[in-house]
A and B are shown apart, each in its own frame.
Chain A
């Protein structure tokens, strides 16, 4: 047994987290910053932070993940990291020549109270930031929130720093995709363009973290939202923020700063949340939904009806990030499956938890939800009463193996399989892919466990 010390006896814990279902803010900020074209994320902390974040993101995407660090030493930790950041800004613009540097803080620099805007202003005054280039920042203390908070804050910083009001408003729609895969970002944009809507998406990691191999490495790949687009985004006709936790703060900041009305939706995972996304897009832009989208939707509904008998009533355990869980729980419920255990490590708040409970209110089973919780508690629930399917990041495979439960990788990080960065799980096509994965897992198990007598050719 891999998790051999996990038992069904649940003891109260107030201090010890075991097997976290979250990580810290800066990695989310780094990921978001990689979705800006020509941007080098910069970690203002000791060099272990950026090494860990780069490693984790690299293992997840199997792609180069570039970032720099202030490389704090003991001295910098005592006297402040200003000198380190100034030197870093100098070196980065001289040696690596990015268009923009996105600084995020760490628990170290937050604890000592480094004032990033003041340091950046000093860098500007001293001529360390070349003409036409930018440094922007987000405060991402690791001891608050989670990796999703960091993503959210860096995305909001893009609005705070760059969005410029304009009147009259353009025909562009801003799309804030949330902490999702590059493939999901492409899919969100594709759906909008199927409706004939031109959009500005930020952040946008497509073609940054799923780039091609050409024999030539480009430190700053083709993808990413440009600073020019970010400036323009303040003049868009509206914003759709996907995911209340990851995207709403940026969308609402845009509304407050540039009077661009914002609609906050669930991530478009599954049938109903994709319906909502498409419908909102249509209304916002005043366009008709083309047949091509009707076709995609129809295919999804068709597949659900074809395979419903294998899904019906199956108990599912979910671990992941709040925005994903909410939409996924809704999708699974729509398939007549029963998401009975739901854990996120992110402290997503009471309102979020209520939304999740509301989503699951129709499920005829005992529901356990932990917001926030950890994977140890999740595993203990399973020890008490098992489930038919597990969905979560790669760490869930230890539970799946110990308990012999079918398992679908979903979320962040996925360190041991390919696909997530190339194939979307949002939109109708993404829902089809999720459906395929769920069915593959369930049916492989059914066939593994069937006897020679009841093993069948056609399902």
Chain B
């Protein structure tokens, strides 16, 4: 399809800079092979009238030596997805490091007293502390013993085992050890082959984690909870208490939250999650698989929601009410929005004069780089450039491209579960006609449009940004705020540019929902307005000639 003249890359500028030149500068220093690869991961956004965007290469290997933001498969599996579930003993099978680094370092808050047994193992780190003896003779015996000791000392309901790099290489069969111990102990014991070298990023680990939870946990408790409007929240990890704020809104609206995967979460609730009537997907990248599999097996549909941003929160709540179609629920939802939104809008209006027109860059995660643009928009700020650390093409371009995504060798190694409707428990939650009707009214099931269609023409999209490209972007654009993670934080700030961590929220939050939006506005106001950025030069550095003059006198 021919592009309209003004949408050709050559004619597009970003913040006054010609984009062809910007792209050239980003790639200029790379060896040619690297430049060719990165070229496909750096894309100028162009949205056609029917919402199509250019293809961006993503979910491909990181170039050795290039310094990327990414972590590994284990981090995605143990650290991200299973880590926030408080009542499982998560044993890292491997040398001590992996368990140590993933010990309390993500800010998944949890309230153990919200489940009757009060179990909470999230403050603990369990590891087999593999030694050279196990590398040589195998680690299964030690793993078996470790599971036994964990059971004897802590009497947990469930134990999960996470494989680190050497485990796969020496050939330990963690799954058979887990099966054996499950039988022996009479509790749920399951393993994950999430060795760090699998896949190309954390994303592989999310997938492996989801497969494991779906296989070993979901659907193991058929108790039907009371409640008229039952939902699961998927891909909400309760960083800084986000899930608590979302839970508050659900309760106010009269929705019953069956389970959250996985923030403030409990394995008991995962077990029961198939009894809900609707799955809400927050982080599409990390967890869309679970929603897909639950729909196939149990008949729960899913919709994409976003509780980052006040308007997005209101929209998401309305979508849920629209799905259930209950007049009282709709009215109550509208009442909650009407009660909460004015205060948020007031806060935004007060801050906006100080943030209007400021320019942001977001390079983070698998959904946050998209979601947080909402909050910046509400402050009148512009997102010049954004990209994900570990997302796939569908997170950028929308699920419409799913059929055209080529599965490469790295992804093929990650198992795809074959899921069929459950013989007794499959039950479509809404009739086809009703689904079609809702669709015609604009409620999209099982869909995510991706980040790019919502971004401005000419924004620069960079997948798996490198340290070098980060430096170049800072030098060329000098953004007013940059968002990434802890590894990037102080690099950016040494330039005198505030850097907001969107993994850990810089230990603040919540930023979700209505109250969270106000927190975020205030935080950004603080950061872009902080006096500290004006202290970089000493008086004698600002006016060196004056000193010379006095010396002459």
Contact = CB atoms under 8 A, between A and B. Distances in A.
Contacts of B65: 42, 68-70, 87-92, 95
Contact of A48 (B29, B104, B196, B490): B196
Contacts of B153: 5, 11, 13, 16, 18
B493 interface: yes
A235 to B, nearest CB: 34
B100 A24 contact: yes
A19 to B, nearest CB: 5
Interface in A1-53: 2-5, 11, 13-20, 22-27, 42, 45-49, 51-53
B491 A217 contact: yes
B165 A46 contact: yes
B189 to A, nearest CB: 14
A16 B121 CA distance: 14
Contacts of B103: 19-20, 395
Nearest to A58: B486
A127 interface: no
Given A55-B105, A74-B410, A215 B536 contact: yes
A48 B98 contact: yes
A45 B468 CA distance: 21
Interface string A78-117: 0000001101111110111000000000111011100000
Nearest to A345: B96
A108 B166 contact: yes
Interface stretch (A141-149, A159-167, A312-320): A141-149
A63 interface: yes
A124 interface: no
Contacts, number: 261
A4 B100 CA distance: 19
A395 B101 CA distance: 12
Interface residues of A, number: 83
Nearest to B133: A143
B64 A16 contact: no
Contact of B196 (A22, A95, A108, A144): A108
A112 to B, nearest CB: 6
Interface stretch (B4-12, B71-79, B516-524): B71-79
A92 B65 CA distance: 5
Given A16-B146, A108-B169, A146-B96, A56 B64 contact: no
B354 interface: no
A72 interface: yes
A254 B160 CA distance: 47
Given A71-B64, A88-B65, A107-B95, A49 B196 contact: yes
Contacts of B34: 91, 95
A128 B84 CA distance: 44
A107 to B, nearest CB: 5
Nearest to A394: B104
Contacts of B494: 64, 211, 213-218
Contacts of A90: 31, 65
Interface in B44-80: 61-75
B64 A74 contact: no
B434 interface: no
Contacts of B495: 215-217
B232 interface: no
A19 B166 contact: no
Given A17-B126, A92-B65, A59 B486 contact: yes
A262 B198 CA distance: 45
A443 interface: no
A216 B471 CA distance: 11
Given A19-B125, A26-B97, A91-B31, A106 B165 contact: yes
B331 interface: no
B150 interface: yes
A398 B62 contact: no
A76 interface: yes
A395 B99 CA distance: 14
A87 B487 CA distance: 23
Contacts of A49: 72, 97, 196
A77 interface: yes
Nearest to B70: A47
B505 to A, nearest CB: 14
- Residue among A4, A142, A395 facing the most chain B CB atoms (10 A cut-off): A142
A65 interface: yes
Contacts of B66: 68, 91, 95
Interface in B105-137: 105, 112, 118-121, 123-132, 134-135
Contacts of B101: 23, 52-53, 55-56
B91 interface: yes
Interface string A141-183: 1111010000000000000000000000000000000000000
Contacts of B123: 2-3, 398
A310 B290 CA distance: 59
B364 interface: no
Interface in B454-481: 467-468, 471
B97 A58 contact: no
A71 B61 contact: yes
Given A51-B72, A94-B31, A96-B67, A75 B96 contact: no
A213 to B, nearest CB: 6
Nearest to B73: A48
A439 interface: no
A253 interface: no
A141 to B, nearest CB: 7
Contacts of A345: 96
A87 B64 CA distance: 6
Contacts of A95: 29-30, 34, 65-66, 468
Interface string B167-205: 011100000000000000000000000011111110000
B489 interface: yes
- Residue among A56, A59, A92, A95 facing the most chain B CB atoms (10 A cut-off): A95
- Residue among A22, A53, A54, A85 facing the most chain B CB atoms (10 A cut-off): A54
Nearest to A109: B165
A92 B68 CA distance: 12
A96 B75 CA distance: 27
B164 interface: yes
B487 A54 contact: yes
A143 B468 contact: no
Given A2-B123, A51-B72, A215-B537, A77 B168 contact: yes
12 contacts: A18-B125, A45-B165, A45-B196, A48-B71, A52-B101, A68-B65, A72-B165, A95-B66, A144-B131, A213-B496, A217-B492, A217-B495
Given A47-B72, A217-B471, A218-B494, 12 more contacts: A15-B144, A17-B127, A46-B195, A47-B70, A48-B75, A52-B98, A55-B101, A71-B63, A74-B198, A107-B135, A111-B165, A219-B471
Interface of A: 2-5, 11, 13-20, 22-27, 42, 45-49, 51-56, 58-59, 62-77, 84-85, 87-92, 94-96, 106-108, 110-112, 141-144, 146, 211, 213-219, 345, 376, 395, 398
